[in-house]
Amino acid sequence: MGHYRQCYYGTVVYWGFKLNDYDKCITNKLINGKQCTIIWHVNELKISHVEKIVVEHIINKLNKKFGEYCPLNLSRGKRLEYLGMTLDYTTKGKVMLSMYEYMDKMVTAIRHEQHVQNNSRRAFVQH
């Protein structure tokens, strides 16, 4: 386990979060009677709680602890990008997941790469 991961785990456990038994990248804690969840993958976090002020408090604590070395880039709202997924919370009581935008970017990148490769092959063939 890397130093950063150990430091992160130690910090959130110290704050009272419990590591998920099945996925060590998920931590949970009851705050104000509701579940607060932090999902962590490499260097991306997703923090959720029904009260925005709780999320802001966690963000402030994380920035205090890690911000000097690894400042947080924040995204807030009812529609978020996380690990290539679009998480859409605009319909009350539901979340819609999609990867359309991620797939579009991937297809565009592949087409660009194929175009570059085709042009470089032509450059070698031309006399």
Domain boundaries, given as residue ranges, for the chain:
1-74, 77-127
- pLDDT tens digits for range 88-108: 889 988 988 888 887 888 888
- pLDDT tens digits for range 65-87: 887 877 777 778 888 888 788 88
| Spatial distance between the Cα atoms of 97 and 100, rounded to a whole number of angstroms | 9
Residue with tokens 């009812």: 78
pTM recorded for the entire structure: 0.66
Q: List Cβ neighbours of 45 (8 Å cut-off, separation of 6 or more).
A: 38, 39, 62, 72
